[in-house]
Amino acid sequence: MSDALKLGIAGLGTVGVGVVKIIRENAALLEARSGRQVTISAVSARSKNKSRDVDVSDYAWEDDPVALAKRDDVDVVLELIGGDSGPAKATVEAAIAAGKHVITANKAMLALHGQELALKAEAAGVNLRFEAAVAGGIPVIKALTESLAGNNITRVMGVMNGTCNYILTRMESAKLPYDVVFEEANKLGYLEADPNLDVGGIDAAHKLTLLSSIAFGTQVNFDGVELEGIGQITIEDIDHARDMGFRIKLLGIAQMTDAGLEQSMRPVLVPAASPLAPLEGGTNMVVIEGDAAGQIVLRGAGAGEGPTASAVMGDVMDIARGLKITVFGQPATTLKAAKAARTSNLSAFSLRLNLKDTPGVMAQISTALANAGVSIDRMRQFSHNDTSAPVMIVTHPTKRAAVEAAFRSIAEMDVTTETPLMLSIVDA
C-alpha cells in the first residue's frame, strides 16, 4: 500500500465542509479505489471558532492559507477560498512553488490567471486540477481533457449558472416578476456577494472560457466573451416565449471559426423540445459536439455542498492514483492566444418591442428592419394600454449585427417606450 495522500484544505465554506465530510465518511471507499489512504493534515479559514457542520478539531489549523500551502505534511492543497486574486491566488502560487499539487474550485481566478498558473504548475511538474470550477458535480473537465481527447471539438454550449436558471424557471412557474424572484434568491443564499456575478452572466462566462481553452487549445480569454445578463427579462417575455414554443435560458456558446474564437454568454430562446428546455432550478447542462463522438450531453447539479465536493474529490482521487495531466489538456506552452471573434452564425431572433400606440409606428419598425436586411417571419401584438403596444417579432435567420443595426435605427426614431430586447433562437 502506498503512503497516505495528505491534503491541506484552504477554505471551510460550503465546499470545504463537503470535502471534509466525504473524507471522514468514505475513508475506506477512497482507500479501496485509489490504493492508498486519503487524509487531511491541516485546514485554514478566516475564523477558527466558527460553528461548522463538521468537526475539524483533529486537523492542524493555519490562520494563513499560504502557510498551509508550505507545510511539509501536505501533498495536495485544496484552494476553496474563492476570489480571482488575493489569498486564493497567493495560496496556489505558494503551493506550486513548494512542489505541491493543487485542486481548486475557483473559476474566476482561472478565467483571469489560468495561463500564468498553468505555466507555473507544469514547469514545477505538479497537477493543477479544477473539475469543481465548472458545472458543480458534472464531470465536464474530465470529459473534455480525457474521454473526448481524440475529438476535434466543434462546439461547446451549456446552462452553467444555477442561480440564473432558478430565477428564470421560478419566474415562469410562479408567475412572479424578476425583482421579486431576485430578492427571493438572495434571501435563500443563492446569489454571490456581488449578485452581478450571477445575474450579469459573469460567473457562467468564467466557466465557459475554461471549457473553451480545453476544447480549442487556446489560452483562456475571458475578455473575448460577448456578455449579457438576465436583468432585462420580464415575466411577459417568458410567457410570450412559452406561447410560441420556446423557453428562455442563459446559454453559453463557444466555437472556433475562421474569424477566431466565438464565445458568448447571454439569454436565448431554446425550443421546448431541446434537452436544455426542461432544466429547472439549479440544474446545469453542458453539450459538447465532437467530430467523432457526435453530441454529448452532460446534466446534473450545478452547485451545492455535495455535488461540488464530489467534483473536488474526483480530482483528489486522480492524484491519489498517480494520474498526471496538463492543466488545459495540452501543454500550456502550446496553447494559442485566442483571437476573439463576434458571433457570426445566422440565427432567427425574437424581438420584443414596446411601441408607442400612434399611427404609422409599425411601418417605421418594418422599414428599419428591412433597411438593415432583417426579414420578418412572424409577428404578434399583445394586449396594450393607452400609451404602449407590446409586439413580438420573430425574424428569419440573420446575423446579430444586422439586428443591432436595426435597433440603432429604431432608437433614433423615438417610437418605443422602453429599450427593445433581442433574443437569438438557438437550435440546441
Tell me which residue of 247, 231, 226, 134 sits closest to 185, measured CA to CA.
231
State the pairing for strand pair 101-104/76-79: parallel
Distance CA 229, CA 214 (A): 24
Q: Beta-strand (E) ranges in 13-148? A: 38-44, 60-62, 76-79, 101-104, 128-129
Residue at 178: amino acid letter: Y
Distance CA 262, CA 7 (A): 38
φ, ψ dihedrals at 394, nearest 5°: -110, 125
Residue at 117: amino acid letter: L
Task: Tell me whether residue 207 is one of the annotated catalytic residues.
Answer: yes
All residues at 6 or more sequence positions from 408 whose CB lies less than 8 Å from its CB, including other chains: none
User: Cell for 359?
Assistant: 399611427
The one catalytic residue in 6, 89, 107, 207 is: 207
User: Cell for 324?
Assistant: 498526471
* Residue the block writes with cell 459573469: 202
Residue at 224: amino acid letter: G
Distance CA 384, CA 292 (A): 51
285 Cα distance to chain centroid: 10
The secondary structure element, H or E, covering residue 140 is helix 140-142
Q: If you compute the radius of gyration of the chain from its CA atoms, what whole number of angstroms results?
A: 24
Catalytic positions = 207
